[in-house]
Structure 1
Amino acid sequence: MNQPFGLVRWRPVGIAASVLATFALAPSAGAAEKLSVEIGGEYTQYFGYVDNDTNSGDFTGFDVKTDGTIVFGGEITLDNGLSFGMEVGLDAMSSGGDQIDGSILYVESSAGRLEIGQTDTVAALMHYSAPDVGYGINDSDISDWVVNLSGGDADSAFQSTYLYLGEDQASKINYFTPRFSGFQFGVSYIPEFERDNNVQPAGDLYSDGIAFGANFVEEFGGVEVAVAAGYLFADKPDSVGAAGNDAEGYSFGANLTYAGFTVGGSYANTQGNPGGGTDTATSFDGDGFDIGVAYAFGDASVSLSYYQGSVEDSVATAGDSDHNTIMLSGAYDLGPGVTVLGSIFRSEFEADSGADNEGWAVVTGITLEF
């Protein structure tokens, strides 16, 4: 994947910089040549133990979990200087029968980059959050280990500062400006949320969504600075009337890196209802933040991070649902494309209904990048 404008990453979190570099190194082609497709990706197997303190079931014990994405991508540069490319992500482990994890066609030139397809908005793609070198604390699958008894999830600030609000698999248009003097801006248009097919929008889900993103990436005297802000809005479905709310969210994030140390954090505020705005009995109105520090030395790195989020959850129940996680992680590069990692974390999920689960987990994994 070619990213001359300094985009932070391709979602999901697991796709590594080496995958992007694979596509970036593909040779340019003149008008007489066709686009050729490269294959890259990342594959991780986790093994861990978790202790869940809940009466809703026996979720304590060992388990093996899988995470990975295979990315098919290619780019061709025409004689006029325009570059055209495509990327399709294929999940190694998926739920709900949706095996494709994003697909885009893009056009790139000195005037910027235009993306069309199923990907995240610019608000998410340009975001920065607290560093973690292991399993991941922000927008990760923590609840695969420590059971979440509430209605909050990573579509809201309950578990993520990345402003998804249910639109991350929806078809959309993204535009990114070139980066100049460290600054880059972006805008997204989402015809309809929760839509990963070609069915014509009918006004029965969040629609006419728009997102804005901006970040600043620069180095000053050996200190690398990265600061980001994002905003997302969409109109509520026609059918919900006064019972529903428009989808809206904003986020901020920053990272500072010096002499191997990275300190960072982020904040998000989200409003709206799940199910593309149709589940008016549940609300993801709330906010969340993370903070963390990481240190890289040679082929090894360690990090300590914390996340806290809260949402209204059940509209009919007083109080909020809360979540907090603290995580200590480490990673070591065994060789090109081979990394061993581990995380120890404690999470607590407290539902507004009074249900509560506090658990801790020890998770190790091996990641292969290709």
Structure 2
Amino acid sequence: MVRSTLLLGAATLSLVSAMALSAPAFAQAKFDVTLGADVYFEAGYVDQDRDSGLRNTEFRNRYRLLVTPKAKADNGLEYGARLRLLAENGAGNARTTTNDRAFIFVNGSFGVFHLGVENGPSDDSGVFAPSDWGTGGVDGSFPSWLGDSGANAPITIANIRALISGNSATRASYWTPEIAGFKLGVSYQPDSESSNTDVNRRKVSLPTANRTGAYHDVYEVGGTYSNSVGGATVNASLFYLGGKAKDSSVSAATFDDLSSTHAGLSVAYGGLKVGGSYAWSGDSGYAKSGTAGIVSREKQDVWTAGAQYTFGPTTLGVGYLNARDAGDLTVRGRTKFELISVGAKYVVAPGFSINPEYNHFKLSSDVAANSDKGDIFLIQTNFAF
């Protein structure tokens, strides 16, 4: 990221000069404002069994702008704030601009505090299959291209770290300094459905199909490890996320609390990097055992594995994802989703790359009519500064 620094001192100097005859001058901290962005344009072609009423092709794009004002005190304390704006959505051409980062940070010898809207520690730092190619492989764009089958797939296809750690909501987070390659992190989120200026103190929410994705008093703890061993770089992570499920706002239904564990490991040597991850979320969010009509509560989990190799401006990669959950809780059996992804990244110039990707998926549903398989061809053009 190339820094575009704006020195916000000119106006202050003018004001101090005007007041100099009547009042003493006070020291003013110098804030640097760093601007950065990443932008993509993505084209896709999909061939799947369940394609009734669907076209094969589509385009999409996204623009994210990152604004970071910060300063450093005489004692070395760094402090500031971060805002990430997104130009996205656009269903029915109802384009919107929103934010998924908006927090204050304080950084010192004691560690780092973040206060505000951001994702959880495992979503930020959890290790999984290498994905610096294509649209991201197992962590890429494929869920958006599944058509109607996206609603029938396990929710873990888009939650490959600790469940809902990717939820952007108001939270308080802390990371320790790195010691011998280890860093520990913890976060607390009062409500998974509340962010920015919203105040949500409700213990109930509207569930979907005998499940809930709404929780309160969500906490996450864990850490990362990074070190070099004999020329190889080892990265590992382990996190646990828990919280209280919200009861139904329209019935007497109650749900199992949130309990999710993520573990990941990768090893890099030269241009080669291999790794994988496993996340187990049990029956988090399911209607509780004994609820009328519930006959299946198969556990939900997801694991990834993959490799990438970089030579010159080119990176080649391959990844595998296997996700499972209970599917329709009123039908016996479980739902399973498998993905094989291969792709590449070619850096045309600094900050500009072209990323082709091929995905083959198979969805085996406990509701036979919902099973699906298909191929997704994507090419993404990226620009970042």
TM over 0.5: yes
Alpha-carbon distance in structure 2 between the residues aligned to 1:349 and 1:140: 17
Q: Does 107-116 or 71-80 show the bigger shift?
A: 71-80
Name 1:358's counterpart in structure 2: 373
Aligned-residue identity in percent: 22
Letter in 1 for 2:201: P
Secondary structure at the aligned position of 1:243 is classed as: coil
Q: How does 1:61-140 map to 2 (within 5 A)?
A: 61-94=56-89, 99-132=98-131, 133-140=133-140
Question: Compared with structure 1, are the counterparts of its residues 361 and 367 closer, same or farther at alpha carbon in structure 2 (3 Å cutoff)?
Answer: same
| Residue 238 of structure 1: how far off its partner (Å) | 4.9
Question: Compared with structure 1, are the counterparts of its residues 200 and 60 closer, same or farther at alpha carbon in structure 2 (3 Å cutoff)?
Answer: closer
Alpha-carbon distance in structure 2 between the residues aligned to 1:27 and 1:213: 38
Secondary structure at the aligned position of 1:32 is classed as: coil
Name 2:211's counterpart in structure 1: none
Question: Compared with structure 1, are the counterparts of its residues 64 and 51 closer, same or farther at alpha carbon in structure 2 (3 Å cutoff)?
Answer: same
Alpha-carbon distance in structure 1 between the residues aligned to 2:177 and 2:3: 21
Name 1:294's counterpart in structure 2: 308
Letter in 2 for 1:364: I
Alpha-carbon distance in structure 2 between the residues aligned to 1:136 and 1:148: 22
Alpha-carbon distance in structure 2 between the residues aligned to 1:346 and 1:60: 18
Answer whether contact 1:146 1:358 (CA < 8 A) is retained.
no
Letter in 1 for 2:181: G
| Residue 94 of structure 1: how far off its partner (Å) | 2.7
Q: Does 27-36 or 202-211 show the bigger shift?
A: 27-36
Which residue, 254, 260, 263 being the options, matches 1:249? 260
Secondary structure at the aligned position of 2:123 is classed as: helix
Alpha-carbon distance in structure 1 between the residues aligned to 2:297 and 2:169: 20
Secondary structure at the aligned position of 1:200 is classed as: coil
Q: What is the RMSD of the two structures over their aligned residues, measured on CA atoms?
A: 2.9
Which residue, 237, 241, 251 being the options, matches 1:232? 241
Letter in 2 for 1:292: G
Name 1:267's counterpart in structure 2: 278
TM-score by length of 1: 0.84
Deviations 1:179-221 (A, max 9, x none): 0100000001111112224213222251111101211001112
Name 2:184's counterpart in structure 1: 185
Secondary structure at the aligned position of 2:193 is classed as: coil
Answer whether contact 1:85 1:107 (CA < 8 A) is retained.
yes
Secondary structure at the aligned position of 1:143 is classed as: helix
Letter in 1 for 2:246: P
Alpha-carbon distance in structure 2 between the residues aligned to 1:264 and 1:42: 25
Q: Does 299-308 or 231-240 show the bigger shift?
A: 231-240
Question: Compared with structure 1, are the counterparts of its residues 33 and 221 closer, same or farther at alpha carbon in structure 2 (3 Å cutoff)?
Answer: same
Answer whether contact 1:158 1:287 (CA < 8 A) is retained.
no
Letter in 1 for 2:43: F
Name 1:216's counterpart in structure 2: 225
| Residue 349 of structure 1: how far off its partner (Å) | 2.4
Name 2:48's counterpart in structure 1: 52
Question: Compared with structure 1, are the counterparts of its residues 322 and 67 closer, same or farther at alpha carbon in structure 2 (3 Å cutoff)?
Answer: farther
Letter in 1 for 2:262: S
Query: Which structure 2 residue ranges, 5 or more long, are not aligned?
Result: 10-25, 205-213, 288-292
Name 2:37's counterpart in structure 1: 41
Question: Compared with structure 1, are the counterparts of its residues 232 and 137 closer, same or farther at alpha carbon in structure 2 (3 Å cutoff)?
Answer: same
TM-score by length of 2: 0.81
Q: Does 158-167 or 178-187 show the bigger shift?
A: 158-167
Letter in 2 for 1:194: E
Question: Compared with structure 1, are the counterparts of its residues 202 and 123 closer, same or farther at alpha carbon in structure 2 (3 Å cutoff)?
Answer: same
Name 1:7's counterpart in structure 2: none
Alpha-carbon distance in structure 1 between the residues aligned to 2:353 and 2:31: 32
Q: Does 58-67 or 293-302 show the bigger shift?
A: 58-67
Name 2:21's counterpart in structure 1: none
Deviations 1:262-281 (A, max 9, x none): 00100001142289xxxx98
Secondary structure at the aligned position of 2:143 is classed as: helix
Alpha-carbon distance in structure 2 between the residues aligned to 1:169 and 1:71: 15
Task: Report how many residues are paired.
Answer: 344
Q: Does 104-113 or 36-45 show the bigger shift?
A: 36-45
- In the alignment, does 2:354 pair up with 1:340? yes
Letter in 1 for 2:275: G
Letter in 2 for 1:237: K
Secondary structure at the aligned position of 2:89 is classed as: coil
Alpha-carbon distance in structure 1 between the residues aligned to 2:176 and 2:152: 34
Name 2:170's counterpart in structure 1: 171
Alpha-carbon distance in structure 2 between the residues aligned to 1:165 and 1:76: 32
| Residue 316 of structure 1: how far off its partner (Å) | 1.1
Letter in 2 for 1:235: K
Alpha-carbon distance in structure 1 between the residues aligned to 2:166 and 2:42: 28
Name 1:162's counterpart in structure 2: 161
Secondary structure at the aligned position of 2:31 is classed as: coil
Letter in 2 for 1:88: L
Alpha-carbon distance in structure 2 between the residues aligned to 1:196 and 1:86: 16
